[in-house]
Structures are given as structure tokens and as C-alpha cells.
Amino acid sequence: MTTNRRSFLRKNLFVTSSLLLTGTLDSVARTVRKINTVAANQSQVNITYTNDLKGKLATVFQDCGGLKQLHSDLSSHDISSLVFDAGGFLNPVQDAGGQLKAIDLMNKINYHAVNLSAADLVQGVDHFVSVLPYMQFQLVSCNYVFESSALKKAVKPYQIITYGKFKVGVTGVGEPANISGVQVKNPFTALTQTVRILREKHQCDIIVCLAHLGFDKKSEVNNQAIAEQSQGVDLFIGGNAQQSKSRLWVLRNKSKSEVLLTNNFDGGLSSGRVSLDFSQQKERMGIDLKTNVPGAINRDHQHQVLALLSSSKNQFNT
């Protein structure tokens, strides 16, 4: 199944726009990729997502979680799903060798877009650039501006993916940080500008924001706040939670329209899958959320692990 999935993606995902090194936000923006599946439901868009993987390779709780199990699990799923990560994918205390093992597994999972967060730059820009050539997934961030020419080339403000008859725009926002060589723009302002380009210029049907702003309501900058102050974003995938959980909120944005916010347990202990159902006129008609525990031997085991992780008495954190 792994071979079939990778072969399918190699045949059906391709870059259709060039990558530019300098210019305006719009001109440097995007790699456009296409997922062209006969089997894909033309009224449904499936999005599988993770956050805060932290470079965990092996299982982390009751023989579950970790990138190895996540890779095995996702390889057996529907190959038509888009796959995103909200950031925090590297282990900041690992050396380059350990991080390359995690990157290799992420390559095999075939992520379509990964948010670059400050958590991934803890060891400095130079270190990140040293492992950058091994990443085969698209990095996105609309509020980080880099001095490094390598990062300017590799990190795009947004990605546009054609999924059947739907055009999906995905961008990312990272948390405030003081990192040499990185200018952090206001995430609210940067996101608003990017969404306008995706909606008005590129006529995207669906917009996803990968947000690594945390869930601390005491902070003015957090995942829920940006979702509620946004306009035009359909789904926020949040990361950087102090207490990892798997959950979904249906919120109201600035224009009082529904916006979804979701996140997972960290360390690959869970992956989420959101299915968005649309009418023939591309109006959203329904939402389905599934949470999966990589490595769970059956549904009962999965429910048991989720119950333990969700318990208020459980202090487990990866």
C-alpha cells in the first residue's frame, strides 16, 4: 500500500508554476500542485493533518504514535486526501542525523504543505538550512520574512493545490520569536493579505491556515483569536498547544461566518481527517471529523488510548 500511494502521488501531483527568489508577496508565492484523481469524490474534499510532531520517531504512549507508526497508518488510507502539518515538526534537541530520519519519514508520508514555525528554528537558521535540502515537502509561512536566500526560495507564503474541481489555498502563520535572520510580521495582517490574494486573484474555493500560535487565551496572539478575527478562511489547523488534545471547534469569524479550528495530540499520537462536503455550487453542506491513533490495533484500543490521553487526570505530554 505504501508503494501504491507514493506511486499514485508521483503520477498525479506536479508543480505547475515556477519558483521565484525575489519580488512581491504574490510573485514569490506559490508552488501550484494538482491532485488529479478519478476516484476522488467531486463533492468532498478530504484533509488529513498533524501538528507538533517534534521529530518523534518511535512510539510514545502504549505502543502508539511517532512518525514510524504515522507513516504506516497513513500509507494504508485513502490516497486522495491532502496531508498538512501545522508546524513544530523537528525535535529541537536532536542533532542533524536524528532530524534527517524524521524528515525522511515525512517525505514518505507525502505532506502537501508544512508550516514552518519558530519551534523548528530553535537551533538557528544556519542549522535549519543544513537539513533543508532533504525536505521534499513544501514549507509555507506568510508572516516570516527571511534574510537567507535558501529560505526565501524554499518557504512560500502560500500553496495552491487543485483537488478535483476544487482549488485549495493553504498558508501558514508562526508564533512571535526572536531568531537571528528572521523578521516576524503580525500574523493577523499577513494572513488577511494572503487570504485576499488567494480569494480574489486565484479564486480559491477553500482556504486552510496552518497556525502555530498556541492556545493560551492570555496571549493576544493565539490560534483561536486569529480564527475569530479572520475572514475568508475555512479551516485552521492549530499547533503549539501547552496541553495536547484532539479537538474541533466551530467558531464565528469577523464576518460572523463559521470557521473551523482543530488540532491533534503531539508526537504523532493522533492524526485528524476533516471531510468537507459541498453542493454542486461549491457551497459547504457538511463536515465530518475522524481522529485516528497511529499504532492502535483496533477501534477499541484506539478509544482506550484517546480516553486515557483526554482524561483530566492524565498528565502525559510528549
Give me the sheet containing 235-238, strands edge to edge. Answer: 32-35, 158-163, 166-174, 206-212, 235-238, 258-263, 247-252
How much is the pLDDT for 104?
A: 98
Does residue 170 sit within a domain? yes
pLDDT in tens, the chain (318 residues): 444 444 333 333 333 222 323 334 443 343 444 444 434 557 899 999 999 999 999 988 888 999 999 999 988 765 689 999 999 999 999 999 999 999 999 999 999 999 999 999 999 999 999 999 999 999 999 999 999 999 999 999 999 999 999 999 999 999 999 999 999 999 999 999 999 999 999 999 999 999 999 999 899 999 999 999 999 999 999 999 876 678 899 999 999 999 999 999 999 999 999 999 999 888 888 999 999 999 888 888 888 888 887 774 444 444
CATH number at residue 18: 3.60.21.10
Residue 154, domain member (yes or no): yes
* 315 belongs to a structural domain: no
| pLDDT for residue 3 | 43
The reply to whether 316 falls in a domain is no
Does 317 map to a domain? no
Whether 318 maps to a domain, the answer reads: no
pLDDT in the model for residue 137 = 98
Residue 87 carries which DSSP code?
S
Domain with 18 in it? 2-310
User: What is the rounded end-to-end Cα distance, in angstroms, of the chain?
Assistant: 29
What's the residue count for the chain? 318
- What span, in angstroms and rounded, lies between the C-alpha atoms of 243 and 105? 25
At 244 the pLDDT is 67
Confidence (pLDDT) at 115: 99
Count up the domains in the chain and report the number.
1
Only one residue has cell 536524528, namely 98
Inside any domain, residue 56: yes
Look-up: residue for cell 508543480? 15
303 within a domain of the structure (yes/no): yes
